[in-house]
Structure 1
């Protein structure tokens, strides 16, 4: 199992729109494509309260490539994403890292 840590830095003031999009649109489409989330977080105390952090769980990099590419090309996702961004961009920057659990990690 590998984990993908994704960090979305929002356009100022747009974090509520991003959270709503995940809650009402994105997670349903991920289910359709077999994408498994391992948690979502926002910053309670820190440098910025305009960021969303989340982990995705993958069986392998090949599993990630297949499922993520299918999701990214899904016509429903493309339409809903465009609809949610009709008033402007929500996300200013996305970064991601692929993580491998250590032998002593409680998460495998």
Structure 2
């Protein structure tokens, strides 16, 4: 199993619209394309991070990740939703994706180690 941590930076003033798109469309389309979301967070509001979203997805392997994203980005519904939601300009200034793997020492017996 692998995880993908994604960080989105919203365009200035576009955070409410970006959150609305996730709530009304994106999360449902993730499910449609076999993308399991583990958590979704907004950064604490301060001068530097008021427009940041983080979420964590889980995939069986790298192939599953790539196939799911390819299907998502070519989905006719997503293309329509993205176009409609960005009719007054883009919502996202930048995206950073980090692929995470659990090291073997943590997978094997990590429950016991946490109790120590």
Q: Same fold (TM over 0.5)?
A: yes
Q: Higher mean Cα deviation, 90-99 or 43-52?
A: 43-52
How many residues get paired? Answer: 106
- Taking structure 1 as the reference length, the TM-score comes to 0.91
Identify the residue that residue 84 of structure 2 maps to in structure 1: 83
Match of 2:8 in 1: 8
Q: How far apart are residue 104 of structure 1 and its match?
A: 2.8
Give the Cα–Cα distance (whole angstroms) in 1 for the partners of residues 30 and 4 of structure 2.
14
- Alignment of structure 1 residues 29-108 onto 2, 5 Å: 29-45=29-45, 47-102=48-103, 103-104=105-106
- SS of the residue corresponding to residue 9 of structure 2 reads strand
Deviations 1:57-87 (A, max 9, x none): 0110000111110011001100011000001
RMSD, aligned CA: 1.4
* In 2, Cα distance between equivalents of 1:70 and 1:86: 23
Structure with the larger helix share? 2
Quote the offset at 1:45 in angstroms. Answer: 4.8
What are the ranges of 5 or more consecutive residues in structure 1 without an aligned counterpart?
none
Q: Deviations over 1:32-56 (max 9, x none)?
A: 1111111111111553110101111
- With over 3 angstroms needed to count, the CA separation of the structure-2 counterparts of 1:45 and 1:89, relative to structure 1, is closer
* TM-score normalised to structure 2 length: 0.85
Gaps (5+ residues) in structure 2? 111-116
